[in-house]
Structure 1
């Protein structure tokens, strides 16, 4: 489909406000025009595009599948234009920013590489990263206090109504300190039960997968446990003790490659959970956010090869 030169900025801003407000009347109020004018502008845009963008009802307006797809690009286009105009004025050196929520599964190897590439290519980009459980981060995303959340979160009920883009599958592994008594041969279930275990916190989406891995090994979880989302605490405790850490591979990838931690041979391979990007479709992404998404995809492609993971869904 060729770009119709009849599409004007007013069509895009009107559509974006309708999507943001979920109502023609509220969009009209924000835009300071009449509801009939909003309706007419939307009809014109739909005619130019040859697609229905919204479904109207008594309760408001809901985007169609075509509308959701168009929203992603329309929002970025308008935001880029606004920032381009600002760059010509007194805000020529204004810093772009992106606010990320990061689950612990991406903090050790994946996200640091994304940040490195972002700062390498964009001189004036401020990146803010907030950690914590998925429920907390998705809540911040929903109210607009974060631009993106990155990690394993597809099992969270709070993801409903948000957009999720799969990047790669990340497996869980059992790791111990070098020289651990369980190394050197396939681990027996009864032996595994004799050592303390380090697990993700009980209120996280990854906890169920961690427990399932022990079940697949034929072992029960020992009573002696450390439950935490802190990668630094988990790593240091495992190095100081005989504990077994049920860890996302990203969290220990560098340690395994440097032989600073060792993976136990348990005779099974965890298929991995879906690691990806969660965004709020009602919020227009900034240029900084779009840059971040591009680099997340780029690094994820390399990690799929590095981890032997499957390609993204289509």
Structure 2
């Protein structure tokens, strides 16, 4: 049974402190004094009988009990917000809808488990998932046709007017079919001997791939197919001797089951951030807040790191 001494202000203050990592910033955001918010946190810790946060020179750090409590506190606030929005929609038959843009690097690996978590937390929300290249999705986001976009960080010119929150990092892989002749004597300079499926101009990974190949001494690739189509890449690579240069997340399932094989080249220098892109002037609604919780849950389960 929930201890009746726990009030909404306790939950709200705790979540704000955890998000801001600072008592002062959280107090400013809630229009409270720092002593008042500190007292509220102490009351909550006394009620639950555990230290939820520690203070150090870097700011506020969550303890293990604090991390557990934060997860459910965020869900509680998001659920309350959903309830309030539901009251506002009373008489309207439309269900809440969340529109998510998914770049190829996350559409087949990260988004599916996130949707499982999200469906458990918000089964009444309709999620519309739109996939496509970076420039297309970012434009839809800026126009308000998407609520958020998940994927690789793009070039600075494409990210103007967009907020980016990093979730984890991933590298680029070079993959081929099982039994490919290049697997017998791996040499990255030999990829020019076969067709190469290459990221097109404007793709988020294009600059990383270009720098990587230059660093490896790979010259002009005479026979290349430029596309971000995961469907085409999977079929064409399995049926031919093509070498596919693609974000690891796109082919995670195929390399795991052996349908495609990652060439044993060190691609560490292609490591780049994957994150959430939103409009900086927008406030996340309840559905988006729950979606963010689902993403953090999956990141923890999969052991993804920044």
Shift of 1:195: 1.2
**SS in structure 1 of the partner of residue 277 of structure 2:** strand
**SS in structure 2 of the partner of residue 182 of structure 1:** helix
Q: Does the aligned pair in 1 maintain the 2:168–2:275 contact within 8 Å?
A: yes
Q: 1:273 is matched with which residue?
A: 272
Unaligned 5+ segments in structure 1 are: 6-44, 52-74
Q: 1:170 is matched with which residue?
A: 170
Counterparts in 2 of 1:77 and 1:121: CA distance versus 1, 3 Å: closer
Counterparts in 2 of 1:262 and 1:96: CA distance versus 1, 3 Å: same
Q: Does the aligned pair in 1 maintain the 2:101–2:130 contact within 8 Å?
A: yes
Point out the more displaced range, 264-273 or 240-249: 264-273
1:64-101 C-alpha deviation (Å, 9 max, x unpaired)? xxxxxxxxxxx9799546414237x435x752211011
Q: Distance in 2 between matches of 1:255 and 1:47?
A: 48
**SS in structure 1 of the partner of residue 193 of structure 2:** coil
Q: Distance in 2 between matches of 1:46 and 1:100?
A: 28
**SS in structure 1 of the partner of residue 182 of structure 2:** coil
Q: Distance in 2 between matches of 1:90 and 1:203?
A: 45
Counterparts in 2 of 1:192 and 1:148: CA distance versus 1, 3 Å: same
Q: 1:21 is matched with which residue?
A: none
* RMSD (Å) for aligned C-alpha atoms: 2.9
Counterparts in 2 of 1:280 and 1:176: CA distance versus 1, 3 Å: same
Q: Distance in 1 between matches of 2:274 and 2:155?
A: 11
Shift of 1:126: 0.7
Q: Distance in 1 between matches of 2:148 and 2:199?
A: 22
Q: 2:134 is matched with which residue?
A: 134
Shift of 1:230: 0.7
Alignment of 1:192 onto 2:191 = yes
Q: Distance in 2 between matches of 1:310 and 1:123?
A: 28
Unaligned 5+ segments in structure 2 are: 1-6, 11-27, 35-76
Q: 1:146 is matched with which residue?
A: 146
Shift of 1:188: 4.7
Point out the more displaced range, 251-260 or 290-299: 290-299
Q: 2:43 is matched with which residue?
A: none
Q: 2:282 is matched with which residue?
A: 283
Q: Does the aligned pair in 2 maintain the 1:187–1:265 contact within 8 Å?
A: no
Point out the more displaced range, 204-213 or 193-202: 204-213
Matches within 5 A, 1:34-45: none
Counterparts in 2 of 1:209 and 1:79: CA distance versus 1, 3 Å: same
Shift of 1:205: 2.2
Shift of 1:229: 1.2
Q: Distance in 2 between matches of 1:267 and 1:169?
A: 16
The number of equivalent residue pairs is 241
Q: Does the aligned pair in 2 maintain the 1:217–1:266 contact within 8 Å?
A: no
Q: Distance in 2 between matches of 1:294 and 1:222?
A: 43
Q: Does the aligned pair in 2 maintain the 1:173–1:270 contact within 8 Å?
A: no
